[in-house]
């Protein structure tokens, strides 16, 4: 909103009425000083609101052009190209992963072809664009995961017990410990990531402090038990305790 004082009362009033939500109020305030104070406050708030909306719109466009092909139009993942769910993940987690892909503490291991693919998409993304995308993705509703046929969810619940200290009782995530939500993630992706931690393809890089802590926690899990945990996680995502 560009309002130049001294251009005549009627003109800047008209401009404010058009460009801020305070237009009607300005029409009934007769004192110029009062109108100016009101306009200033309204202008500031309108500017903030417009700024946030503009950031969201930009992030949405960036997402559609740079990310949607692999992560789905609404961030709900695309199994055909190994792209996980991003909708509803916490912004802080997304930002850190993007930083990891960009700087190479994630997706730089040749035993991790999917991570390398994602790394190629992240190298040109600067931190500010990553932050805007992350903030926008956090606001999208997370999908309900598919049911997992091959795992025993009851056994998975027991195996998951030690994980709850970081990922939460219902796998809803714990931002203070940098642990992401798992309940609404695609089961095939949870399966692959847990295996990658166990065998040391993820979380083994010296600069990946959080990944290293997760790797240490994964090492007691047998590869054959991963499917049970994944089945339980998917039940949480679809159950009454599903994350809204």
Residues forming contacts to ligand HEC in the complex (CB under 6 A) are 66-67, 69-71, 81-84, 86, 89, 94, 96-98, 114-115, 117-118, 121, 125, 133, 162-163, 165-167, 177-180, 182, 185, 190, 192-194, 210-211, 213-214, 217-218, 221, 229
Q: Of the two residues 13 and 228, which places its CB atom closer to ligand HEC in the complex?
A: 228
Q: Of the two residues 15 and 145, which places its CB atom closer to ligand HEC in the complex?
A: 145
Query: Considering only CA atoms, which of 54, 43, 50 is closest in space to residue 12?
Result: 43
Distance, CA of 189 to CA of 185 (rounded, Å): 7
Side-chain-facing half-sphere of 10: CA atoms under 13 Å: 0
Min dist CB 199 to ligand HEC, Å, is 13
Min dist CB 142 to ligand HEC, Å, is 11
CA distances from 81 to 10, 105, 175, 195, 230 (A): 58, 22, 28, 19, 20
Min dist CB 203 to ligand HEC, Å, is 6
Min dist CB 244 to ligand HEC, Å, is 19
Q: Of the two residues 22 and 159, which places its CB atom closer to ligand HEC in the complex?
A: 159
Cα–chain-centroid distance for residue 94? Answer: 5
Min dist CB 54 to ligand HEC, Å, is 19
If you count them, how many residues does the chain have? 244
Cβ neighbours around 144 below 10 Å, total: 14
Min dist CB 153 to ligand HEC, Å, is 13
Q: Of the two residues 16 and 226, which places its CB atom closer to ligand HEC in the complex?
A: 226
Token output for 124: 């040109």
**What is the per-residue DSSP string for 9-48?**
HHHHHHHHHHHSTTHHHHHH---HHHHHHHHHHHHHHHHH
Q: Of the two residues 25 and 157, which places its CB atom closer to ligand HEC in the complex?
A: 157
Contact in structure between 127 and 99 (CB atoms under 8 Å): yes
Q: Of the two residues 36 and 156, which places its CB atom closer to ligand HEC in the complex?
A: 156
């Amino acid at each position: 909103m560009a309002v130049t004082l001294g251009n005549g009362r009627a003109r800047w009033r008209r401009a404010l009425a058009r460009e801020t939500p305070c237009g009607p109020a300005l029409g009934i305030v007769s004192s110029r000083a009062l109108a100016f104070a009101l306009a200033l406050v309204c202008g500031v708030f309108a500017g903030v609101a417009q700024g946030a909306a503009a950031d969201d719109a930009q992030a949405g466009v960036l997402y559609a052009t740079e990310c949607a092909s692999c992560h789905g139009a609404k961030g709900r993942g695309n199994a055909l190209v190994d792209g996980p769910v991003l909708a509803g993940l916490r912004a802080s987690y997304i930002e850190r992963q993007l930083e990891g892909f960009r700087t190479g503490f994630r997706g730089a291991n040749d035993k991790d072809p999917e991570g390398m693919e994602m790394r190629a998409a992240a190298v040109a993304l600067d931190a500010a664009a990553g932050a805007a995308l992350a903030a926008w993705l956090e606001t999208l509703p997370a999908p309900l995961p598919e049911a997992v046929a091959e795992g025993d969810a009851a056994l998975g619940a027991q195996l998951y017990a030690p994980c709850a200290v970081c990922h939460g009782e219902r796998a809803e995530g714990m931002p203070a410990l940098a642990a992401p939500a798992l309940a609404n993630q695609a089961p095939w992706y949870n399966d692959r990531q847990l295996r990658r931690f166990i065998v040391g393809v993820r979380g083994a890089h010296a600069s990946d402090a959080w990944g290293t802590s997760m790797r240490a926690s994964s090492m007691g899990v047998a590869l054959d038990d991963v499917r049970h945990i994944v089945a339980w996680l998917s039940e949480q995502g679809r159950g009454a305790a599903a994350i809204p």
